[in-house]
Amino acid sequence: MADNPVRRGWLGHLTRRSVLAGAVAGAAALPAVAAGSTAALATPSSAAVPGLRTARATGTTHRVTMYAEALPGGLYGYGLAPGEATIPGPLLEIVEGDTLEITLVNTTNQRLSIHPHGVDYDVFSDGSAFNDSFNEPGETRTYVWHTRERTTSAGRAWLPGSAGYWHYHDHAYGDHGTQGLQKGLYGGLIVRRKGDVLPDKTFVVVFNDMTINNKMAPETPMFDAVLGERVEWLCIGHGSVDHTFHLHAHRWADNRTGYLDGPNDPTLAVDNKDLNPGSSFGFQVIAGEGVGPGAWMYHCHVQFHSDGGMSGVFLVRNEDGSIPDHAQEAIDRYHAGHGGHVGHSGHGG
C-alpha cells in the first residue's frame, strides 16, 4: 500500500498525494487549483504579504477522478489512478469561489461514497445513504462541491465562507460510513481564502480510533522538513475516541490559519489541541524555528493513547538536508521502543 502523507512544495514537485484537477469552466484551459499547482494558487509576491506566495481565487470549476479500491489487510483507500489508493486519500485543495467536481469510481465490492466537510453541496452530492447518494459496487458517480467567500446583506451579520482545514470520507459503507472510516476511506480537504500564505509542505495526520493514519507506532508516518521550511499540518479526527494533538517544540495561533494577522492579534498560542471524531484543524509553523534541527515527537496527549502507539516523528533536517546525528539516534530509539521508552526507563535503556 502506498503511504506518503507529505505533499511537497508548490513549485511543481508533485507526489501521488497531490491532486492536479483539470479545469473545465471557460473556453481556455485554466491552471489547476490543487496541491502542487503553482499558477492558480501562488503569486511571486503579494502586496498583502510581501515576499510570500499566497493563494488567489480563479472562480474556476475543476474536475478530478478518484478511485475507491480495496487494499491489503482488509483496508480500503481513495486514489487518483487505478492501483494508487492510499490512506489517507489524496489531499484536495481549492480556493474560495472555486468548484470541485469529483468523479468517484468504485472498484470495490462494497457500497461506498465520498462526503465532504466545510463546503456546499446539494442532496445528490451529500454522499450519504440517507439521501441515496452513494456508489454501488462497480458504479461511477460524480459529486459536486462548491465554495464561497464570506458574505453579508442588509440587516444580517457576516456569515463565514468555506475557507478552512476540512476533510472528506466515506458515508455509505456501513450505516453511516462507519466501516469505511475504520478501513481507511478518508482524506484531507483544504479551502484557501484569497491571500492565504502558502506552505512549502503539507502533512495530513488522522487520529482514527487508536491509530494514526490507520497505523500504530513505530509504523506511524515520519514527516520531515528542512530547517526553516514553512510546514503546514492538517489534523483530522475519526472513529469513536476523543484525542488531543500535541507537537513538540513548535506552537501556532489557535485560529483558522495558525498564524497571526498582525502584531496586535490577541489570538492565543497553543501546542496542544483537541482532535475529536469529525473535527479538523490546521496550522503552519516554521520547521525548527527557535529550536533548531532534530527529531520532534507528535502524538496524542491522552497518556494511555500515546503509550498504546499514537505517536510519530517530525524530523527537521539540517539546512543542507542531512539528518543530525542526535536526530538519527532519537529515531532509532523510537523504532526500538515506540517513543524512546525502551524498558520504561525513560532513557532508552
- Which pLDDT score is estimated for 32? 32
Note the pLDDT tens digit of each residue in 8-57: 332 222 333 334 333 333 222 222 334 333 334 443 333 355 678 888 87
Note the pLDDT tens digit of each residue in 179-188: 999 999 999 9
Would you place residue 241 in the very low, low, confident or very high pLDDT band (cuts 50, 70, 90)?
A: very high
Give yes or no on whether 1-198 and 200-349 have one common fold: yes
Say which CATH class 1-198 falls into: mainly beta
Set of cell numbers at residue 105 = 469510481
- Give Cβ neighbours of residue 135 (< 8 Å, ≥ 6 apart): 68, 104, 105, 106, 111, 112, 113, 141, 172
SS3 (DSSP) at 325: helix
Under DSSP, the state recorded for 41 is: T
pLDDT (mean) for 194-210 = 96
Give the mean pLDDT of the chain. Answer: 85
Boundaries of every domain in the chain: 1-198, 200-349
d(CA 283, CA 133): 32
Say if CB 321 and CB 287 are below 8 A apart: no
Say if CB 338 and CB 311 are below 8 A apart: yes
CATH number of 200-349: 2.60.40.420
Distance of CA 100 to CAs 123, 141, 318, 328, Å?
16, 14, 38, 42
Say if CB 164 and CB 172 are below 8 A apart: no
Under DSSP, the state recorded for 135 is: B
Supply the pTM of this predicted model. 0.85
pLDDT at 271 over 50: yes
